[in-house]
Structure 1
Amino acid sequence: MPLLGFGVYQNYTAKASVLEAFKAGYRHVDSAQVYRNEAAVGEAVKESGIDRHELFITSKCVSQNHGYETTLKGVDQSLVKFGFDYIDLFLIHDPMSGTEKRLATYKALLECQKAGKIRSVGVSNYGVKHLEEIKNAGLELPTVNQIELHPLCQQKPIVNYCRENSIIVQAYCPIIRGKMDHPAIQAVSRKHGRDPAQVLLRWSLQNEFVPLPKSATPSRIESNAQLYDFALDAEDMAKLDALDEGDTGAISWNPVNHL
């Protein structure tokens, strides 16, 4: 899995944006059934001419579609929309369907993995309780947990649990949806002569997260990928680490504490 992904949530020009992302060097695209752009992503993959095996594509099933049979059907529908033989990573989009449906959905995804329809099974917006639920059911833990993650919302209990259990942490909203005017972020940005989004994405990478920035603007798509010719030092990291506001720092739905 490439360490930098390209998000397409609420991207209504997804095909064009994904093609721009491929030009900028991205090889990891994060979609979802509820985004309604799986077909557009698939079209971009086909039009790009890039070998499918060089790309890492994710989709997700939202709670309204949870359940064993609906998940099996949904994965097949996603494969058709993408025009793929397999999906690299498939996530349970959120934990809001309750224990029974969460576990049924997870078991269905494991079946799809065995059938070769998906390569890896993961979750999104899962808290420690939801991950423990999987373990207590005697099932293998997910490979990925995708959560809202940036200096203002660091979700330390979940992150620590994932690290202890070898679960990769993907970070959505890594550039705080453009709300980057905090003085500490601006100070680090000025110090390195980089824009605030690049600083936030670099913070994410240096914390060993997999950030998923999104943009429909070609110049932003390109600049968000220019992260490998500078590094934040310990002072920079400490300054950004100190910004954590816990749950109140979340800017998205962040349903990690849902029962």
Structure 2
Amino acid sequence: MTNTRERELTSGVRIPLVGFGTFLIPNDQAASAVENALAAGYRHVDTAEVYENELGVGEGLRRGMQREGLERSDVFITTKLWPLTQERNKTGAETVRSLDESLERLGLDQVDLYLIHATFGREQRLEQWQALAEAYKSGKARAIGVSNFNTAHIDELIEAGLPVPHADQIELHPWSQKPQLVSYLNQKGITPIAYSSLAPLSTWRTAPGHPSGKTQEMRAEGEHSDSPFKKLAEKYGVTEAQFLLGWGVQNGYPVLPKSTNPDRMRENLDVFSFRIDDADLEDIRGMDRGAGLAWGEVDPTTHG
């Protein structure tokens, strides 16, 4: 548990516990969204090659940092390698080229965290991870990690004599807590980064690649007036979104809420003014439903 606003990765880099997620923000809206996020107080921005908005994110970073008088070191920036190209796995050389292209789109010499976005093909996965290790050594990334990897995927990297990832970005919220995976990550010194933190909300997005039946069922549950998160939010005097994000940061997970509404941006950032008590945390542990919505546990075929 932690009540600080940052978590230190094993690379020594400190990652803010609330980041601004940009998944599903179109490139032509990303600049204004990121600029507004920095104005709201965010100092952690998350994007990815496959989001196709790195150009806009980069423009928003430049505008927002200038507007707020920020130095590059004031903002933590994550992007991710999409491991496929033309329906095949990228080679190590193509991985390096992808990072260089992401840096160019973002207008940066270095990202704070570079992740392999998904798990496709063991041999290529090892080759791609080796390329990320070289990017870390060269200074193009201050930390490296993976996303949507399970214990077996990470074990294969370690067994191949490759570096242990600094982070694993995975779907984490009260209905998908992944206790065994989180325990493993913490034992290995790998920071779990949470996405889809707001999945239990009735207003949570429905996007291509999300199992629609399960998503609709969960959304319908969230609409009930006696939804547990409505009651818990009322108890702590916060919104449901703030409660769910607060649950994540209280567990030490960096979270990545997304909004293009400046008021909602500020609201999502304000999650450090309350602390969930032990009894409620125990009750929430009993709400776990296993695998999440965005990816399967072992072989993801969509992205999020």
TM-score normalised over the length of structure 2: 0.81
How far apart, in 2, do the equivalents of 1:140 and 1:256 lie?
Answer: 23
1:142-157 alignment runs, 5 A limit: 142-157=165-180
Aligned to 1:6: 20
* 1:251 pairs with 2:275: no
Match 2:228 to one of 173, 184, 201: 184
* 1:209 pairs with 2:225: no
Residue-pair matches, total: 255
Task: Indicate the SS of the match to 2:55.
Answer: helix
Aligned to 1:234: 278
Task: Indicate the SS of the match to 1:134.
Answer: helix
How far apart, in 1, do the equivalents of 2:284 and 2:264 lie?
Answer: 22
> How far does residue 251 in structure 1 lie from its aligned partner after superposition?
2.0
> How far does residue 181 in structure 1 lie from its aligned partner after superposition?
4.0
How far apart, in 2, do the equivalents of 1:188 and 1:7 lie?
Answer: 25
Aligned to 1:219: 263
How far apart, in 1, do the equivalents of 2:296 and 2:55 lie?
Answer: 27
Contact 1:33 1:62 in 2 (8 A): yes
Aligned to 1:38: 54
How far apart, in 1, do the equivalents of 2:282 and 2:30 lie?
Answer: 36
* 1:168 pairs with 2:191: yes
Aligned to 2:137: 114
How far apart, in 2, do the equivalents of 1:47 and 1:25 lie?
Answer: 14
> How far does residue 63 in structure 1 lie from its aligned partner after superposition?
2.6
Match 2:110 to one of 74, 80, 86: 86
1:37-76 alignment runs, 5 A limit: 37-48=53-64, 49=66, 50-65=70-85, 66-76=90-100
Which runs of 5 or more residues in structure 2 are unaligned? 1-14, 205-218
> How far does residue 67 in structure 1 lie from its aligned partner after superposition?
2.1
Residues 162-219 of structure 1: CA deviation (Å, up to 9, x unaligned): 0111100000001116244462111101111211000001100111111111112222
How far apart, in 1, do the equivalents of 2:180 and 2:275 lie?
Answer: 26
Aligned to 1:140: 163
1:5-24 alignment runs, 5 A limit: 5-12=19-26, 13-24=29-40
Contact 1:146 1:171 in 2 (8 A): yes
Residues 256 and 61 of structure 1: is their aligned pair in 2 closer, same or farther, counting only changes over 3 Å? Answer: farther
Task: Indicate the SS of the match to 1:76.
Answer: helix
Counting aligned pairs with the same residue, the percent is 37
Contact 1:184 1:240 in 2 (8 A): no
